Amino acid sequence: MDIEVLIAQNKAQKAQIIALRHELDQLKRLIYGAKQERFVSTQAPEQLSLELDTETAAQSGVEATETITYQRRKKPHPGRTTLPENMLKRLSLNPKWIPPT
């Protein structure tokens, strides 16, 4: 092999190594880099924005609301249940009795 061919191959391989290392660094940064949740617009700066009339938007929001009223019957609360007779006898026999803890 000629030395000039080897030099050309060496330069090509070095360029390829540099490109692959750059790609590897970008992928590592993508995977392991800091994550941010801020909004980054993908819109090109040359693209014009759509200007909306805010007063018209506010009025359309008011028109979309409506008030609904209704009536319902409220059921009376049944209250507490009465204590059984055997429980009443127990309480009346010894009102100072304290249950063991």
N residues, the chain: 101
Q: How far is it, in rounded angstroms, from Cα 4 to Cα 6?
A: 5
CA angle 72, 64, 50 (to 5 degrees): 155
pTM confidence score: 0.35
Reported as a single tens digit per residue, the pLDDT across 32-70 is: 888 777 776 777 778 777 777 766 655 655 566 788 898
